[in-house]
Structure 1
Amino acid sequence: MSQFDAHLAAFAAPAANGTLRGILRGIEKESLRVTPEGRLAQTDHPAGLGSALAHPHITTDYSEALLEFITEPSASIEAVLGQLDDIHRYTYGQLESEHLWPGSMPCVLAGDDSIPVARYGSSNSGAMKTIYRLGLGHRYGRAMQTIAGVHYNFSLPDEFWHELARLEGTEQNLQSFKTDKYFALIRNFRRYFWLLLYLFGAAPAVCRSFVRGRKHALEPLGQDENTLHAPYATSLRMGDLGYQSDAQQSLIVCYNNLDNYLQTLCGAITRPHPAYEAIGLKDAEGHYQQLNTSLLQIENEFYSTIRPKRTAKSGETALQALRLRGVEYVEVRCVDLNPFEPLGVCSEQLHYLDAFLLFCLLQDSPLTGDTEYLGLQENQKRVVYSGRDPALKLMVNGGEVSAREWASQVQQGVLSCARLLDTACGGSAYEQAHAEAQRKLAGEASTPADRVLQVLRDKQQTYYAFAMELAQAHSAHFAGRPLEAEREAHFKALAEQSIRQQTEVEAADQLSFDAHLAAYYAQYRDCANCGCEPQAAISAQSGC
């Protein structure tokens, strides 16, 4: 019996199976605010939404116009989507004539100068957030930072981990065991996430304005010179037009264990990078242009498809939180906004993600070597541009395999995990989500990317007109469902409280910004305390 089969058998038993009901998940969803004409909004963060620095559910990402909605973790998919729906209903009530853009790829852009960087007030922590974003603009351009997506946070309860530890006979303490297993999940996720790009990718086309002045391999869609696409594309957001950079190609981040992960990222944050030294830390007037001149300003700058996470304390870096307390959950970052869904995501997707992540955890997960690491990067590129090509081949074990054949193998494991989850939670939602994925793979149902291109061709629409039509429809959907008075009052109180909290944070600052920044970066030197010598990349002999 394989390790995976042993895990399946163990968690089919009633007591162990019941631990799966304690899975927690949460959503972070980004959307651009746009004008009634579909241009990027130039207005400030709406006052009725409170402080972007302190609000627990409504903030901004890169741009002042890029909203980010954050749900609380929940053991219920329905509850998570319900809260996300409430956040949307409240937000739409504060937007006046503006809309939320439904696609991951942005609306019509008029160049970097038209993209306002998010502002978070005068506190040291708020200034850091804004300067970090200024640095991203200098390093990669602002257009790339207007791309939106859905992040899915996933964790398993301690009861599950106790059962798995007992099954594997480990002598580790529980947190160390959890951390190692979350990294095993991450390694497998990185092997198989290309399947998610195929199933959920919804960005096969872009406005020409997005690639103005940039090299690209896209072609016009029919006679439409304003819409560019790749015929078999899935998620251009996840390719070289999106969250990728030439500078980061030199960075091999090791996911074999926590120490190696800390080592590679700490090195990238603490060692200067010539191209960013050329930008300069400050301008001629002494204003910060970026937080540092290293390959990464902070760990979040590394554009990964999945991250190990631990809730950080105030002023604590994400890596310091991981170093001190281990992995708490994983954050999946490769899901496009589904433009056909008012919330940008649906229940079926979340059920499939749960089963997929459980498969990645229970499946045997060997350590990753450099050859495999580079092969995984190549697979991502192939699926981004050619994922819907029935003849696509992907790299595995030094050779190539049909993507459809590999998908079938992965699907068998996901189905087994879907059945475990249905047994635990009751009903058949997980197996139904798997069946819908199977229909997409068989060509019996359309993927979101299929649907986008089909609509563009059938209606002879530009990408702009297509997305604008859906933006208006989503606005009408939420306008017709205003929040109940009690829920409206709740969100209004949260907004007011967040403004007070920002004022308190600003009043409490005692250090100069320079001193605050120095104290923050001192935490990265703690990497040495875990036995790591910071470095910018792992060598080919490292086994990463």
Structure 2
Amino acid sequence: MSEYYYSGKFGIERETLRVDSQGRLARTAHPFGDDEHITRDFCENQMELVTPVAGSIREALGYLAELDERARKKLAENRESIWLYSNPPHFDSEDEIPIADFTGDLSSKRAYREVLKKKYGKKLMLFSGIHFNFSFPDELLHELNTDNEDFRAFKDELYLRLYKQLMLHSYLLVLLTAASPYYDASLDKDGKSGIIMSEYSSLRNSKRGYWNKFLPILDHRDLRTFTGSIKKHIVTGSLYSASELYLPIRLKPKGVNSLENLAANGVDHIELRMFDLDPSAPLGIDGRDLEFVHLLILYLLSLPDIDFTPDLQEKAVSEHKNAARLDPDAELLERAESVIKEMEKHFGDNEKAIEIISFEKEKISGRKVCNRVKYYK
């Protein structure tokens, strides 16, 4: 096995809402200026911590802890704090959700958010979560390129192959990290209040969450056809930009995140966007979950390429939404358990990996027990 096999570059983006001393959405302006590591997402009171690129998950979590501490200290000066749940707190109306006030060179970001407001409404944009970014070391990619293909073409093909497998297996990560079954009734209707137990274990990953009004079918034959198929949706007006492509996995370029940059310069890293904030974890994410994601990526890299047909694309999204239910289909849980067993075989000689996989395996076993109890009732 290559000495670079378990290496890589890692990054974490964490979205949270700012709340006042009463637990209501903060009405103050974003207090961190143009800090690239503590920025805003959709609205002015939705804060996003963006770690520097790290050489390990542990290092990335260390960066996140530093940013979290800085943010909390600054918010405390205004008697504000971080709402560490994916679903928002109570709010009376959308007037409490001011669009992020980007100006100057960044004014296009505000224009984009105005489009989202009209298209989806502001409530939807309050859902918050974790995005995980990963890239392989070039040394490993060069070793894998045994036929000495053009490196850029080989790299793009590898990430696209991984993208398809992650789309097909995104249901597994939802099953393992869903953490938002409760929500406030104001999310349903202005003026309502009270905590509701949802039928979903993750509202933002369910059919009520971040999805386009149609399923964008893409052409995955190569990066050119992939970016071209996204461009077609933009040209026809179905999508405002590539950023509006609400799928759980994204291929990202280095530098400016634009479709043009991705097409011109190729894939730099892959982004996984489905993780709920874990309120039981001080930083909103359990490091073991991210370690498992890395192992899943390595395992999926060993699988053969697939023809990601429109039917398979529809199936992947349907199963992702199914996994966000409190009672997902038993067949989905069986398949999840099967994937984990295959991962145990793949990493059989790595004690640390087996420990991480066992941690996740217990979650699936627990979900299966809950489903059986509901069935017999």
TM norm structure 2: 0.92
**1:240 aligned residue:** 207
1:127 and 2:110 are equivalent in the alignment = no
Letter of the aligned partner of 2:159 in structure 1?
A: Y
Q: Alpha-carbon deviation of 1:135?
A: 1.0
Equivalent residues of 1:436, 1:445 under 8 A apart:
no
Q: Is the 8 A contact 1:355 1:417 kept in 2?
A: no
Residue 129 (structure 1) shift: 0.6
- The equivalent of 2:365 in structure 1 is 442
Kindly, what percent of the aligned residue pairs are identical?
27
**Paired residues of 2:183 and 2:198 also in contact (CA < 8 A):** no
Give 1:404 deviation, angstroms: 2.7
Match of 2:129 in 1: 149
Instruction: Within 5 Å, give how 1:506-525 maps onto structure 2.
Output: none
Query: Which position in structure 2 is the counterpart of 1:456?
Result: none
Matched, 1:262 2:227: yes
Q: Deviations over 1:280-325 (max 9, x none)?
A: xxxxxxxxxxxxxx22221111101010011234xxx611111111
Contact 1:34 1:41 in 2 (8 A): yes
For 1:98, the equivalent position in structure 2 comes to 80
Larger helix percent: 1
| Counterpart for residue 110 of structure 1 | 92
Helix, strand or coil for the counterpart of 1:69?
A: strand
Match of 1:364 in 2: 304
Letter in 2 for 1:415: E
Determine the structure 2 residue equivalent to 1:86: 66
Kindly indicate whether the alpha-carbon contact (under 8 Å) linking 2:212 and 2:245 is maintained by their aligned counterparts in 1. no
1:174 has 2:151 as partner: yes
**Secondary structure of 2:306's partner?**
coil
The aligned counterpart of 1:136 is 116
- How far is the alpha carbon of 1:385 from its aligned partner? 2.0
Check whether the contact 2:206–2:322 (CA below 8 A) recurs between aligned residues: no
Give the 3-state SS of the residue equivalent to 1:262 in structure 2.
Answer: helix
Distance 1:156 1:417, change over 3 A: farther
Gaps in structure 2 of 5+ consecutive residues: 371-377
Measured at CA, do residues 243 and 364 of structure 1 come closer, stay the same or move farther in structure 2, by a change above 3 Å? same
* Structure of greater Rg: 1
Whether 2:329 is the aligned partner of 1:406: answer no
Distance 1:24 1:445 in 2: 34
Match for 1:337: what amino acid? L
Amino acid at match of 1:108: H
What is residue 381 of structure 1 aligned with on the other side? Answer: 321
Q: Distance in 2 between matches of 1:257 and 1:368?
A: 11
Is 1:227 aligned to 2:195, yes or no?
yes
Equivalent AA in structure 1 for residue 194 of structure 2: N
- Residues 456-499 of structure 1 show CA distances to partners (whole Å, capped at 9, x for unaligned) of xxxxxxxxxxxxxxxxxxxxxxxxxxxxxxxxxxxxxxxxxxxx
2:324 match: secondary structure: helix
RMSD: 2.1
| CA distance in structure 2 between the partners assigned to 1:147 and 1:117 by the alignment | 14
Distance in 2, matches of 1:429 and 1:116, equals: 45
Structure 1 gaps of 5+ residues are 1-10, 214-223, 272-293, 394-401, 423-427, 448-544
Alignment check: 8 A CA contact 2:170 2:316 kept: no
Given the alignment, which residue of 433, 457, 482 partners 2:356?
A: 433
Amino acid at match of 1:229: M
Rounded Cα–Cα distance in structure 2 between residues aligned with 1:270 and 1:435: 46
Equivalent positions of 1:455-494 (< 5 A) are none
Distance 1:418 1:60 in 2: 39
Q: In the alignment, what sits opposite 1:352? A: 292
Show the counterpart of 1:216: none
2: distance between equivalents of 1:341 and 1:70?
18
CA drift of 1:245 comes to 3.3
Q: 2:167 aligns with which of 175, 187, 190?
A: 190
Alpha carbons of structure 1 residues 157 and 234: separation in structure 2 relative to 1, 3 Å: same
1:211 aligns with 2:178: no
- Corresponding position: 1:62 with 2:48: no
* SS of structure 1 residue aligned to 2:102: coil
What amino acid maps onto 1:312 in structure 2?
G
Q: Higher RCO, 1 or 2 (CA under 8 Å, sep at least 6)?
A: 1
Please give the secondary structure, in 2, of the residue aligned with 1:331.
strand
In 2, the alpha carbon distance for the partners of 1:77 and 1:364 equals 27
Q: Partner letter of residue 360 of structure 1?
A: L
Distance, in Å, in 2 between the alignment partners of 1:380 and 1:337 is 17
Residue of structure 2 equivalent to 1:465: none
Tell me the distance in 2 between the aligned counterparts of 1:238 and 1:405.
Answer: 20
The answer to whether the 8 Å contact 2:184/2:193 transfers is no
Secondary structure at the aligned position of 2:218 is classed as coil
Quote the residue 2:33 is aligned against.
50
